[in-house]
Amino acid sequence: MNEYIQWLSEISNLVYKITSNNGAYLLNLGYLKVEEQARALPIPYLIWDKINFYLNQEIVWNYGAGVACKNYLSPRNEKILWYVKNTEEYTFNLDAIRDPDVKYPNSKKNGKLRAKTLGKNPSDVWQIAKVTSGANRSAQERTEHPAQFPEDLVYRMIMGFTNENEWILDPFLGSATTAVVALKNKRNCIGFEINPNYCEMAKRRILETELTLKASEAILF
């Protein structure tokens, strides 16, 4: 466990060195079992103070599907630590990620509508469905990757914490969801992946996305 935390800290601090002044570092972490001490210890509790970035906020990703448990509560969340490099100048595009599901859209104060036209602040708890698998329930974006991020989750991070034409780095590219969402939203992306099968998967998804975007542009013009 200590070796893993040290390894992750080193990677995070290398990322810090190349992050722009207004940039963010979004770190998704799960849980670890500690013998005779914890069934599911949140990794953020072990690493948050070992990274050079400033921890701006913890985001809780909540989802419905998951493992059903009998002797303890079924896990239905993951943590995303939102780090920034400069506490005074970091990028935060709230209007780009507002939640249109406003409970009282017609609420007024002094005769004026209180609700924002674009929607409400999505808060630090994001209810976004996982990429489902299995017969008759597999998500359309499903690939062979066993731990695929949903595009909706990556979309909110990219739109909320980056600007058009900026560069996004994904040190663990996997199935290339980060790259795909970046391309769709006029961002650039660099990703690293050491698994040859995932590299082929990523290449295929990126090429398919580029072809779809070019076809859309051809129709528009």
Judged against a pLDDT cut of 90, whether residue 9 lies above it is answered with yes
> Does residue 112 lie in a domain region?
no
Judged against a pLDDT cut of 60, whether residue 13 lies above it is answered with yes
Give the pLDDT score at 119: 85
> Does residue 12 lie in a domain region?
no
> Does residue 178 lie in a domain region?
yes
Residue 34 DSSP SS3? strand
Give the pLDDT score at 113: 54
Judged against a pLDDT cut of 90, whether residue 190 lies above it is answered with yes
Bigger pLDDT: 31 vs 131 = 31
> Does residue 59 lie in a domain region?
no
> Does residue 138 lie in a domain region?
no
Q: What is the arithmetic mean of pLDDT over 21-40? A: 92
> Does residue 180 lie in a domain region?
yes
Beta bridge partners of 61: 78, 126
Judged against a pLDDT cut of 60, whether residue 114 lies above it is answered with no
- The CATH number for 159's domain is 3.40.50.150
**What total number of domains does the chain contain?**
1
Q: Which residue has tokens 């009998």? A: 70
> Does residue 157 lie in a domain region?
yes
Provide the residue range defining the domain that includes 215: 143-221
Amino acid residing at 199: C
Q: What is the pLDDT of residues 31-82, one digit of tens each?
A: 888 899 998 888 988 988 899 999 999 999 999 877 888 898 888 889 999 9
Distances (CA, A) of 72 to 15, 34, 39: 37, 16, 10
> Does residue 195 lie in a domain region?
yes
pLDDT classification of 11: cutoffs 50, 70, 90: very high
Judged against a pLDDT cut of 80, whether residue 103 lies above it is answered with no
Q: How far is the C-alpha of 30 from the C-alpha of 212, rounded, in Å?
A: 34
